[in-house]
Every structure is written in structure tokens, then in C-alpha cells.
Structure 1
Amino acid sequence: MEITPDVVVSLRADEVFVFGSNAAGQHGGGAARVAHERFGAVWGEGHGHHGQSYAIDTMSGLDVLTREARAFIGFATEHPDLHFLLTPVGCGIAGYTPEQVAVLFAGVPENVAVPASFVPYL
């Protein structure tokens, strides 16, 4: 299992930065801000693939986060030509623990790197 670097400052052409967002796509801080400033995240878009980023809504409750995680896994599976760098989504301002969130990403395909904090729960 590949581990996402703690800090991502650049991406190869085939890489996608996966970050936690809010539903409104207001990418004002943390990984969301990095995604907006560096990797093509679109202000006002809180879900899905944009540029070299993929937004996961982590701020609308655990049920929504669960659906978003499933949708991401489907997207990553359908795009084996891309390499996804999953950040510890939901474990910052959203307030979840790696134990709560990591299990939502069980079954990620091999083209997804995961945060080190998720590994014990996958």
C-alpha cells in the first residue's frame, strides 16, 4: 500500500490530489486551499474531479462522507491511468478520527495512495 506524502507541493501529470471540502466548495484553508491554489480545484465546487484535484465533502455529516468515499473509490477504479494521492480527509476541521474515516476507504484500488494515519484501519 502506497503512502501519500505528508506535504504535497507538486504533482506529476497523471496525479490527482484528493482533499476534504465543504459542500459549497469554499476552499479557504488546509488541503482545500492547496488544491485550489495549486491543483485546479474550482471555487464553488465541493465534489468530484476538477483539474488535478478531487474534492470529497467532509463537512455534511458522516453519511455524506460515506457516500462521497464510495463515489471516489468508483471514480478511481474507473480511471486506472490516474494516480490519486488521498489526504487524511475529514480528520482536520471536520473533526473525525482516522479510525472513523479510514474504514470508509476500504477497498481503494492500487492507484490510490493513502495517508499513513489510515493504514492501521484499512
Structure 2
Amino acid sequence: MRIESLGPGEIFVFGSNAQGAHAGGAARFAHERFGAVWGQAEGLQGQSYAIDTMSGLDVFEEQAARFVAFARDHPELRFLVTEVGCGIAGYTPEQVAGFFRGAPENVVLPESFVKVLEQD
């Protein structure tokens, strides 16, 4: 599923880096279309939510856990998760999908992540 536009209350979840330099991939798209803030590496910004996927798997896992908690605290929003970490960061869905295990119903995961989680 390629996300081209968002409805009210929908949030584009993308992979970022520690500098919040949204120069490529989904981060650039988030910056150009959905209000991602240059220099903000994590969290809600406009109609987007950044997770640092470039600072190692430990940081990625911590930030994914904070995202899942944030989504749980904001049931009024619908979070559309890209294949975070599987582009420029170079991880596979098998390496990172588990970081989103237990995400609430208002989180829409990419099909590749769902397949991995269903295998567990």
C-alpha cells in the first residue's frame, strides 16, 4: 500500500535519522507532504510521526515502543505505518516487525510486517 494522501486524523509513520534530516525516502515525502519538521527526529509532527531507524536496532526498538504507547494513548488518530527501517536503513521486515507487536487497532501496519507477526 502506497500512501499518497491522508484523511482527517490520519498520521503517516516514517523512518527518520537522529538529526531529523528528512532528505530521502519516506522521510522526504513526510517533510514535503505531511508536515514533518526538519530537525525533529522523533514523534508527532504535522500529520506525520517519525521513528529514528538509523541509529541502530536498540534505538529503533525503543522509539517503536514509544510510538506504540503514543498510538494507544491517541485512539482518535489512525496511524499508517510505512515499512519503517526497510528502505534506506536497510533492515528486513523479519528484523523489525516485532517492534510493533501489540500495537492497538488504530495502527495500520504494512502487509510485510503483518505477515511476519502472523508467523509468530
Note if 1:10 corresponds to 2:5: yes
- Work out the CA distance in 2 between the residues paired with 1:110 and 1:34: 25
Give the C-alpha shift of residue 25 in structure 1: 0.6
- Work out the CA distance in 2 between the residues paired with 1:121 and 1:80: 24
Q: Which 4+ runs in 1 deviate beyond 4 A?
A: none
Structure 2: runs of 5+ lacking an equivalent: none
Q: Give the SS at the match of 1:46.
A: coil
1:78 pairs with one of 59, 63, 73: 73
Give the C-alpha shift of residue 69 in structure 1: 0.6
1:101 pairs with one of 72, 90, 96: 96
Aligned to 1:3: none
Aligned to 1:45: 40
- Alignment-mate amino acid for residue 118 of structure 1: F
- Work out the CA distance in 2 between the residues paired with 1:13 and 1:59: 29
Note if 1:90 corresponds to 2:89: no
Note if 1:118 corresponds to 2:113: yes
- Work out the CA distance in 2 between the residues paired with 1:30 and 1:59: 13
- Work out the CA distance in 1 between the residues paired with 2:22 and 2:42: 11
2:26 pairs with one of 31, 54, 68: 31
Please tell me the root mean square deviation across aligned C-alpha atoms, in Å: 0.6
2:49 pairs with one of 32, 54, 59: 54
Structure 1 length as normaliser, TM-score? 0.94
Aligned length: 117
Structure 1: runs of 5+ lacking an equivalent: 1-5
Give the C-alpha shift of residue 119 in structure 1: 1.1
